[in-house]
Structure 1
């Protein structure tokens, strides 16, 4: 009888050496005091894995399993808030976007936008009564992706905000993506949107940014063909909401929830980059 050995697959919250080499230089440096240094700071890499564990499983901070070595839930939350205040997460996303562009895996010929409502269990900034969820408190994720569905930028609003109000903020939130010689790329050539973005005022504003709007018209028959091009943003939402911490908003602080959103976008970029590089090697 032949026994097959199973290769242990890495857990979604585990950080390998390659990813840590990208993350570590972005972390703010914290010097330990010479006098009265206090308890030694828990290793950043383990704490980062604890944050990913909470984001992936949706577990409450106080229930974070100690046996995994992440540190306490309060330690992970404080480190998350510290890195959020330092602006670390947008920089991580920008670095990974640059690596994708360097690998010719970023397509700025088209971009797709959409919004997705989530329930907010606790009140806080950017939570409002949602008209699509029986008036329950909630928030909205607004996302812009490239032509292949790679997240370029994400914003958070209250659950009562119309998608079209975030069209310009999303385009402006796309970071300058380096990775090639010359000026960094920041604007797509064309932006695709469904009927919720049908407004002539916003079409003019999009053109002012040097982007061509391709938005479905209200009252027209379905079958315009846009659905065959903009489904990538819906797939990107499915990938984001695969992380349980992003399906329901538990955080009172909006910047903490936005941090989880940006981390999700960065890890989708990381997954895509590994796929491209492994295909190139193969």
Structure 2
């Protein structure tokens, strides 16, 4: 971090202006009000601190003013249940499209293994990590590497099984006059997605599948366009909490994934405006 820069877990004004309207209203208690509710923006900073540093919730430094780790965990859970992170992601995708920073001419898909230290739903013996418990992050991006959708599965799930769910998970993106856009022109994928059944399913969606064939030599040229999804996965794993799955609950880990996608979109938008 450069001198004079704010830490990345401090929520900038521009991002907060987009998040605050999405938060569910506070349920006030009149008879037994209890403690005063901690400011939502401070709590969000605590959530981002955990996302960026991977610190355990119980060790969240109280002197930073973020509240307790349990308070931050509960807000992350409640806001995820209310769909806040998904709505934020869709809002930022719409702004990117409105600024001509979203390219639906093609989409790129890939997956990455992460160790699941404590097990839980959507884990399985990883074929690339000596059958240790692991999960997979599945990502689909636009032609420029903007994350459109993500999903979580067990580490033993075949990549191709998430091809159609990821395509269907792309939200309708507004931002321009006319109908929202949710269908890319082409889908690019590596040999792990080579299956004629899924090619037919992609064609049935009106999308052209461009998938490398098993057994063919390298040098097909797809790497020149597919590298953007690998870059996006690297950006996701730049959030240290996503490098290893520490959460037993899959919904909490998925909340972190969706929030990280929204932050990547915010960075892209903010850089274009500055």
Q: Normalising by the residue count of structure 1, what TM-score does the alignment of the two structures yield? A: 0.96
1:111 aligned onto 2:115: no
Q: Offset of 1:31 from its aligned partner?
A: 2.4
Q: How many residue pairs get matched?
A: 273
Q: 2:65 — aligned with what?
A: 69
1:244 aligned onto 2:240: yes
Among 8, 14, 29, the residue aligned to 1:18: 14
1:167 aligned onto 2:163: yes
Q: 2:40 — aligned with what?
A: 44
Q: Offset of 1:210 from its aligned partner?
A: 1.1
Q: 1:27 — aligned with what?
A: 23
Q: Offset of 1:109 from its aligned partner?
A: 0.3
Q: Secondary structure of the equivalent of 1:228? A: helix
Q: 1:3 — aligned with what?
A: none
1:266 aligned onto 2:262: yes
Residue deviations 1:157-216, cap 9 Å, x none? 000001000000000000010000000000100000000000000000001111110000
1:223 aligned onto 2:219: yes
Among 203, 212, 224, the residue aligned to 2:208: 212
Q: Secondary structure of the equivalent of 1:245? A: helix
Q: 1:83 — aligned with what?
A: 79
1:7 and 1:248 map into 2 onto residues whose CA distance is 29
Q: 2:273 — aligned with what?
A: 277
1:71 and 1:7 map into 2 onto residues whose CA distance is 26
Among 182, 185, 191, the residue aligned to 1:186: 182
2:79 and 2:40 map into 1 onto residues whose CA distance is 11
Q: Normalising by the residue count of structure 2, what TM-score does the alignment of the two structures yield? A: 0.98
Unaligned runs of 5+ in 1: 1-5
1:152 and 1:39 map into 2 onto residues whose CA distance is 39
Residue deviations 1:241-276, cap 9 Å, x none? 011000000001000000000011000000000111
2:75 and 2:29 map into 1 onto residues whose CA distance is 18
1:261 and 1:81 map into 2 onto residues whose CA distance is 13
Unaligned runs of 5+ in 2: none
Q: Offset of 1:7 from its aligned partner?
A: 5.5
Residue deviations 1:225-250, cap 9 Å, x none? 00000000000000000110000000
2:128 and 2:3 map into 1 onto residues whose CA distance is 45
Q: 1:203 — aligned with what?
A: 199
Q: Secondary structure of the equivalent of 1:214? A: strand
1:55 and 1:15 map into 2 onto residues whose CA distance is 13
Q: Offset of 1:12 from its aligned partner?
A: 0.7
Residue deviations 1:62-93, cap 9 Å, x none? 00011110000010001111111111111110
Runs (4+) of structure 1 exceeding 3 A deviation are none
1:137 aligned onto 2:133: yes
Residue deviations 1:4-37, cap 9 Å, x none? xx85112110111111110001011122112111
